[in-house]
Amino acid sequence: MAVQGNVTFDPLAFAEPVKDPEISEIIDLETGAFVDVVSFISGRRYDRLISERVSISESLANAPRYGCALCATPVYLVASREKRFFFRHSREDGSCPSVTRSLLSRDDIKALKYRGQRESLAHRVVKERIVRSLSADPSNEKILVEKH
């Protein structure tokens, strides 16, 4: 079942990890202990994990608390739309077999998403209305219309 929008979660319930997380084990960078991610997440109440997530993210810049067990890159805790948690590398450089984000830039993703698509009729009609509206105001001397 696909989840639409935000999901309300009982703050006193135990947090849930994603199924089959890319990073299955992290290292506590202070103690050197290896930590199973599923146990780490599912052993904490949702409200407390949210608080800890903020602390983990804030520590990234100066003294990261956790790293990927495979590559030692600092990691932080994120949640899916379904409020299931997982760890993500702070930077993804391709050196780790655990890939937690796309290597594509935002512009690359947009190009793939909209490749070959034309403006819909509804979009063109709205653009024409905007141009007519702007043209009605004499203070708008030169109106440039977006080409695509």
CB distance 85 to 79 below 8 Å: yes
pLDDT digits 0-9 by tens, 77-96: 999 888 899 999 888 777 78
For residues 45 and 13, the answer to whether their CB atoms sit within 8 Å is yes
The type of residue at 53 is: R
State which residues of the chain have pLDDT below 50. Answer: 1-3, 5, 109
> What is the Cα–Cα distance from 113 to 39, expressed in whole angstroms?
36
Query: Which tens digit of pLDDT belongs to each residue from 47-63?
Result: 999 999 999 999 998 99
42: exposed, middle or buried (Cβ count in 10 Å: 0-12, 13-18, 19+): middle
Alpha-carbon distance of 54 to 10, in angstroms, equals 18
